[in-house]
Structure 1
Amino acid sequence: MYDPTRLAALVAVAEAGSITRAAERLGYTPPALSQQLAKLERETGATLLVRSHRGARLTDAGELLVARARRILDEMERARHELARLAGLSGGTLRLGTFPTAGIHLLPPVLSAFRRAHPDVELAVANYEPPDGISAVAAGEVDLALTHTYVPAALVPLPSSVSAEPVLVEELVLITAPGHVLAGGSARLPLSGLAGQPLISMAPDLPARQGVEAALARAGATPSVLVETPGYALVCALVSAGLGVAVVPEMVAATAATPVGTRRLEPGELRRTISVVHRSAEAAPAVDAFRALLRAAFGRAGQHRHDSGPHRES
């Protein structure tokens, strides 16, 4: 049996006339789409496309398979709609809470996958700075929310009606201005190496950051600029301008809009866990479907779940 995703890729190329345009339509990179098509050709044992500088055209075998693939994909779409109606996913609204980093860098691809799978469910997204999303879920303002905790930090107890599932664990890393002396080298930098460094301090009055700020203070980092409201974009911009160094999640460093140097820290115990929270006893097919997509997208997150996620109050 042929992979439906690869059949859809072939149909997209047939309709778009080129791998590049089909990749844009499907959300792939052209090399990734080419790999899918090559696998389909191996599955069929036939050459399906002829590639040229002008695009890609179907061979006779490709034309035959596209005609059958359209029928198969149409039937699968009908089956998906019928199953969605049975599962309670044919309407209604899924209300999501998020915080800025996750909303920008994690949520969009999962929302896209959910929309493709369940186009009849409306989506509503609201911003909640952690841990406010937990309260919003408990109060019924949203159906689920992405939130985070830091290590080290005091544990945030969950209301008895709410459950949390970690989806991503990331280290905190040092960011500096490009060319900064601490950005050089591939070895991890001990926290003691921050002694005397001017530090862009990230909202130390927030419970989530208090443990991290305390660890940096013990290492001798000297507060230089205090960013009193949560805003990693501002922190990165100040670091890039040479006003100090900062310790931020890996995702923040990798997606900074301003140029920064990055270095891992020793012993790597500073971490952030991103979790999805939902109401425990509520039967909600849309929530379950969304959580499943999160697990599929970030399935390696469970490596550090034992001590880094929100904890339920006992």
Structure 2
Amino acid sequence: MYDPTRLAALVAVAEAGSITRAAERLGYTPPALSQQLAKLEREAGTALLVRHHRGARLTGAGELLVARARRVLDELERARHELAGLAGLSGGTLRLGTFQTAGVHLLPSALSAFRRAYPDVGLTIADLEPAAGVAAVAAGEIDLAMTHTYEPGGPVPLPASVSAEPILVEELVLVSAPGHALTSGGSRLPLAELAGQPLISMAVDHPGRREVEAVLTEAGATPSVLVTTPGYILVCALASAGLGVGVVPEMVARTSATPVGVRALEGGRLRRTISVAHRTDEAAPAADAFRALLRGTFSRAQHS
């Protein structure tokens, strides 16, 4: 039996005309989407796509499977809608809080999938840093909040009525101006190589970054510019301009609006876990459905 996720990937490539554009639409990286398509081709026992310099086109077998896949996916969509009504998801509003990185890079594809599955549920989204988001969940002002923790670092205490479910773990990486010597190598960079380097440092009073900054200080990085708010977009822009090097989540580095050199750090010690905070003392069908969607989406992305 074919995996519906892989069928949807094939349909997306057929509509977008390239794996890269389809990956952007679905919220995958192109290599991850290519892996899903390769698995589908193995299941089908034949080539479904022909790659070329301008994108990808369907083979005859691919065209046949896409036609059938659309019917299957339409039926699954109808089933989701009918089940939503049974589960109390035929109306109401999902209230969501998110910090900037998750709001820009993670949530759009997940919210698009949620809207397709539950078109009658309204959406409200608030721009909230993690601490404020968790407080708003505890107060009943929103249903879910995207939050994060850093390693190294201690656990962030949560109100008794709130739990946080991890959905994505990413490493912190070095960013610099394009062509910088430190980001030109292919292997992981030892932290000792940061000794004497001008560092674009994050706010020292930002709870999630204190231990990360301490590790960089121990490695000998020299604070050059202090960004006093947790704004990774600004860190990347300053690094791109040659004002120093920065250490930011990989997701931010790979999607930076300004050109930066990127390099993984040795040991993988510096990481960020993105979680979704929710109340544990009341029923919330829309929030539960969205958490399940996040869980499925990002567990597939990390293990594909």
- TM exceeding 0.5: yes
Contact 2:176/2:262 (CA < 8 Å) preserved in 1? yes
Partners of 2:149 and 2:10 lie apart in 1 by: 43
Contact 2:173/2:264 (CA < 8 Å) preserved in 1? yes
* CA gap 1:237/1:2 in 2 versus in 1, 3 angstroms: closer
Partners of 2:276 and 2:187 lie apart in 1 by: 33
Per-residue deviation, residues 99-152 of structure 1 (Å, max 9, x unmatched): 111101000111011011000000111111122211111111110111111112
Partners of 1:198 and 1:5 lie apart in 2 by: 45
> Aligned residue for 2:183?
183
* CA gap 1:81/1:229 in 2 versus in 1, 3 angstroms: same
> Aligned residue for 1:117?
117
Partners of 1:87 and 1:153 lie apart in 2 by: 39
Partner SS state of residue 173, structure 2: strand
TM-score (norm 1): 0.77
* CA gap 1:108/1:242 in 2 versus in 1, 3 angstroms: same
The residue type equivalent to 2:230 in the other structure is P
Bigger radius of gyration: 1
Q: CA RMSD in A?
A: 3.7
Unaligned runs of 5+ in 2: 49-56
Aligned counterparts, 1:130-141, within 5 A: 130-141=130-141
> Aligned residue for 1:310?
none
Contact 2:174/2:247 (CA < 8 Å) preserved in 1? yes
> Aligned residue for 2:80?
80
Are 1:204 and 2:207 counterparts? Answer: no
> Aligned residue for 1:144?
144
Per-residue deviation, residues 68-104 of structure 1 (Å, max 9, x unmatched): 976x776655543332111000000000111111101
> Aligned residue for 2:298?
298
Contact 1:168/1:300 (CA < 8 Å) preserved in 2? no
The residue type equivalent to 2:202 in the other structure is M
For residue 283 of structure 1, report the CA deviation from its aligned partner.
1.2
Contact 2:148/2:274 (CA < 8 Å) preserved in 1? yes
> Aligned residue for 1:93?
93
Contact 1:188/1:264 (CA < 8 Å) preserved in 2? yes
> Aligned residue for 1:273?
273
Partners of 1:10 and 1:177 lie apart in 2 by: 37
Partners of 1:299 and 1:269 lie apart in 2 by: 21
Unaligned runs of 5+ in 1: 48-54, 304-314
Contact 2:8/2:69 (CA < 8 Å) preserved in 1? no
> Aligned residue for 2:237?
237
For residue 155 of structure 1, report the CA deviation from its aligned partner.
2.4
Per-residue deviation, residues 227-281 of structure 1 (Å, max 9, x unmatched): 1112111110100100001111111111111111111112221111100110012
The residue type equivalent to 2:293 in the other structure is L
Of stretches 274-283 and 292-301 in structure 1, the one that deviates more from structure 2 is 292-301
For residue 300 of structure 1, report the CA deviation from its aligned partner.
6.2
Contact 1:168/1:301 (CA < 8 Å) preserved in 2? no
Partner SS state of residue 189, structure 1: coil
Per-residue deviation, residues 149-184 of structure 1 (Å, max 9, x unmatched): 111223211111001111111111111111111112
The residue type equivalent to 1:162 in the other structure is V
Per-residue deviation, residues 202-247 of structure 1 (Å, max 9, x unmatched): 1111111111111111111111111111211111010010000111
Contact 2:77/2:117 (CA < 8 Å) preserved in 1? no
> Aligned residue for 1:170?
170
Partners of 1:219 and 1:10 lie apart in 2 by: 46
Partner SS state of residue 111, structure 1: helix
> Aligned residue for 1:228?
228
Partners of 2:256 and 2:272 lie apart in 1 by: 17
Contact 2:110/2:297 (CA < 8 Å) preserved in 1? yes
The residue type equivalent to 1:155 in the other structure is P
* Number of equivalences: 284
For residue 3 of structure 1, report the CA deviation from its aligned partner.
7.0
Paired-residue identity, %: 66
Contact 2:9/2:22 (CA < 8 Å) preserved in 1? no
